[in-house]
Amino acid sequence: MRRQLASLRALLVDLDGVVYRGSTLLDGSTEFFRFLNAKCLAYCLITNNATSTPTQVARKLKDLGIEIAESSIFTSGQAAARYLTRQAPVGTGVYIVGEDGLRQPLLEAGFRIDDVAPGYVVVGLDREFTYKKMAIACVAVRRGAKLIGTNPDKTFPVEEHLLPGAGALLASITSCSGARPTVVGKPSAEMLKLAIEHLGVRKRETAIVGDRLDTDVLAGKRAGITTILVLTGVASQEDLSRSRIAPDYVFRDLNELRAAMA
Q: What is the radius of gyration, based on Cα positions, of the chain? A: 18
- Contacts by residues 220-229 (CB-CB < 8 Å, ≥ 24 positions apart): 220/12, 220/192, 220/247, 221/245, 222/187, 222/188, 222/189, 222/192, 223/189, 223/192, 223/193, 223/196, 224/1, 224/189, 225/1, 225/12, 225/192, 225/196, 226/1, 226/2, 226/3, 226/8, 228/257
Residue type, 112: R
63 as an active site residue: the answer is no
Return the number of the residue (140 or 234) whose C-beta is nearest Mg ion.
Answer: 234
Q: What is the DSSP letter of 204?
A: G
Instruction: Classify burial at 193, counting beta carbons within 10 Å of its beta carbon; exposed 0-12, middle 13-18, buried 19 or more.
Output: buried
Q: Which is nearer to Mg ion, 92 or 215 (CB)?
A: 215
- 2-21 residues in contact with Mg ion (CB under 5 A) are 14, 16-17
DSSP per residue over 224-250, as a string? T-EEEEETTSS--HHHHHH-S---SEE
Nearest residue to Mg ion, by Cβ distance, number only: 17
Nearer to Mg ion by C-beta: 172 or 227? 227
Cβ–Cβ < 8 Å for 188, 219: yes
Residues counted in the chain: 262
Interface stretch with Mg ion, choices 121-129, 184-192, 209-217, 219-227 (CB under 5 A): 209-217
How many residues contact Mg ion, by CB under 5 A? 5
* Residue 118 makes contact with Mg ion by CB under 5 A: no
Q: Is 14 among the catalytic positions? A: yes
Footprint (CB under 5 A) of Mg ion, residues 10-69 = 14, 16-17
Q: How far is the CB of 186 from Mg ion (least distance, A)?
A: 9
Listed ranges 60-68, 142-150, 228-236, 250-258: which one lies at the site for Mg ion (CB under 5 A): 228-236
Return the number of the residue (17 or 105) whose C-beta is nearest Mg ion: 17
211 binds Mg ion (CB under 5 A): yes
Question: Which residue, 129 or 156, is less far from Mg ion as judged by CB?
Answer: 156
Does position 187 interact with Mg ion (CB under 5 A)? The reply is no
Candidates 107-115, 198-206, 224-232, 233-241: pick the segment binding Mg ion (CB under 5 A): 233-241
Footprint on this chain of Mg ion (rule: CB under 5 A): 14, 16-17, 211, 233
What is the set of active-site residues? 14, 16
